[in-house]
């Protein structure tokens, strides 16, 4: 799921993005598997919980980094993160109310993958461009 | 139905295909339809309300829609399950959202009704006395249609 073109050239963020894509890929694999749903349910729950937390942690870290570098579009970016979180929370609430069904969790997984690719492929690239424009050290440790 | 209404959707389609799939669709031909939009095997239908009313339909051949999900997910995809249809619907939703942002710059304020995804044999859509513009686009993974049927409200 991860592609090198998604790199923004900031190690901390790229590493987290890779992890995030890996987790979403893993999640997609579990929810799309043809094995019995009941048998997968525990794993689905675990992956879901982990990912939910990881997305929040990552967004916080990324926003902190943007503050550090005085990223000018931080407010727009925070709004995009808020919208992303809201999208996740709507499903979390639905699952709490109605339980996890294979149909709904697959629907969630498809959206999550799409949101992630659009966000990282577009919005987050702008952070990398800003760092480069400031003469920042991309991809150097 | 003005041709200008098609451009924002065409442009947003190109942008999002480039971003998500690294594919740059090229326009092949443009047709005016009067009664029916012929569908391909997998279609994403967006309803539009507000200053413009009607809808937008993306229609893909099955192998192309499978390839799209394959490119995005890096997984082997052989059927359009809920995961795949949800991803396709969301791509349509994002394209529609970007197009509406563009239209709002021309003071046309609209909303999207959540996408519906149809999977099956060439589902067509009746136009009920509206005209539609059907734009066929070619890509390296196949040919698909973008149909736009919008009229100004009131
Ligand atoms: Fe971000």
CA angle B14, B50, B135 (to 5 degrees): 30
In this predicted structure, what is the pLDDT of residue A107? 96
pLDDT < 50 stretches in chain B: none
Q: Evaluate whether residue A5 is within a structural domain.
A: no
* Cα–Cα distance measured from residue B86 to residue B81, given in angstroms and rounded to the nearest whole number: 8
Q: What is the CATH number of the domain that holds A104?
A: 1.20.120.50
Whole-number Å distance, alpha carbon A30 to ligand 1 midpoint, is 25
Task: Judge whether A127 lies within some domain.
Answer: yes
Calculate the dihedral angle through the C-alpha atoms of B26, B29, B30, B31, rounding to the nearest 10 degrees. Answer: -150
Query: Which domain covers residue A125, as residue numbers?
Result: 10-133
Which residue does chain B place closest to A111, by CA atoms?
Answer: B87
Contacts 24+ apart (CB under 8 A), B45-48: B45/B92, B45/B115, B45/B116, B45/B117, B45/B118, B45/B125, B46/B92, B46/B93, B46/B96, B46/B112, B46/B113, B46/B115, B47/B112, B47/B113, B48/B96, B48/B100, B48/B110, B48/B111, B48/B112, B48/B113, B48/B150
> Taking a contact as any Cβ pair under 8 Å apart, which residues of chain A between 64 and 103 contact chain B?
102-103
Q: If you measure CA to CA, which chain B residue comes closest to A114?
A: B87
pLDDT in tens, chain A (141 residues): 888 989 999 999 999 999 999 989 989 999 998 888 888 888 888 888 888 888 889 999 999 999 999 999 999 999 999 999 999 999 999 999 998 899 999 999 999 999 999 999 999 999 999 999 988 755 544
CB-CB under 8 Å, A28 with B83: yes
This prediction has a pTM of 0.93
- For A24, the closest chain B residue by CA position comes to B73
> What superfamily would CATH give domain B3-152?
CheC-like (3.40.1550.10)
Neighbour count for residue B154 (Cβ, 10 Å) = 5
pLDDT at position A141, please?
A: 42
In a domain, A71, yes or no: yes
In a domain, A123, yes or no: yes
Q: What is the pLDDT of residues B75-106, one digit of tens each?
A: 999 999 999 999 999 999 999 999 999 999 99
* Cross-strand pairs, B117: B44
Adjacent-strand bridge partners of B31 = B134
Q: Specify the pLDDT at position B3.
A: 79
Secondary structure (3-state) at B58 = strand
ipTM score for this prediction: 0.92
Helix (H) or strand (E) holding B137: strand B132-139
Tell me which residue has tokens 């923004």: A8
Question: What's the confidence (pLDDT) of residue A38?
Answer: 85
Element (H, E) at A13: helix A11-32
How many domains does chain A divide into?
1
List CB contacts (< 8 A) between B65 and chain A. none
- DSSP line for A42-111: HHHHHHHHHHHHHHHHHHHHHHHHHHHTT-TTHHHHHHHHHHHHHHHHHHHHHHHHH---HHHHHHHHHH
Q: What DSSP assignment string belongs to B9-30?
A: HHHHHHHHHHHHHS---EEEEE
Contact (CB<8Å) A117/B85: no
Burial classification of residue A140, based on how many CB atoms lie within 10 Å of its CB (0-12 exposed, 13-18 middle, 19 or more buried): exposed
How far apart are the C-alpha atoms of B147 and B92, rounded to whole Å? 12
- Per-domain residue ranges of chain B: 3-152
Residue A39's pLDDT is 85
């Amino acid at each position: 799921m991860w592609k090198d073109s998604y790199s923004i050239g900031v190690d901390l963020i790229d590493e987290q993005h890779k992890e995030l894509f890996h987790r979403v890929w893993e999640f997609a694999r579990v929810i799309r598997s043809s094995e019995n749903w009941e048998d997968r349910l525990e794993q689905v729950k675990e992956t879901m919980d982990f990912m939910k937390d990881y997305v929040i942690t990552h967004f916080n870290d990324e926003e902190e980094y943007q503050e550090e570098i005085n990223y000018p579009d931080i407010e727009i970016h925070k709004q995009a993160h808020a919208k992303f979180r809201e999208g996740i929370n709507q499903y979390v609430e639905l699952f709490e109310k109605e339980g996890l069904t294979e149909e709904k969790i697959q629907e969630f997984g498809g959206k999550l993958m799409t949101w992630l690719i659009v966000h990282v492929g577009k919005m987050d690239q702008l952070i990398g461009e800003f760092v480069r424009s400031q003469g920042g050290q991309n991809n150097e440790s | 139905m003005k041709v200008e209404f098609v451009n924002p959707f065409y442009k947003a389609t190109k942008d999002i295909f480039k971003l998500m799939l690294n594919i740059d669709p090229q326009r092949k031909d443009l047709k005016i339809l009067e009664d029916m939009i012929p569908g391909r095997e997998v279609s994403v239908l967006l309803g539009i309300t507000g200053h413009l009313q009607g809808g937008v339909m993306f229609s893909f051949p099955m192998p192309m829609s499978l390839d799209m999900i394959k490119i995005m997910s890096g997984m082997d995809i052989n059927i359009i399950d809920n995961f795949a249809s949800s991803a396709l619907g969301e791509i349509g939703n994002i394209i529609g959202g970007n197009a509406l942002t563009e239209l709002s710059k021309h003071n046309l304020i609209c909303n999207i009704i959540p996408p519906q995804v149809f999977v099956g044999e060439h589902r067509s859509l009746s136009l009920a006395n509206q005209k539609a513009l059907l734009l066929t686009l070619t890509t390296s993974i196949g040919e698909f249609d973008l149909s736009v049927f919008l009229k100004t409200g009131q």
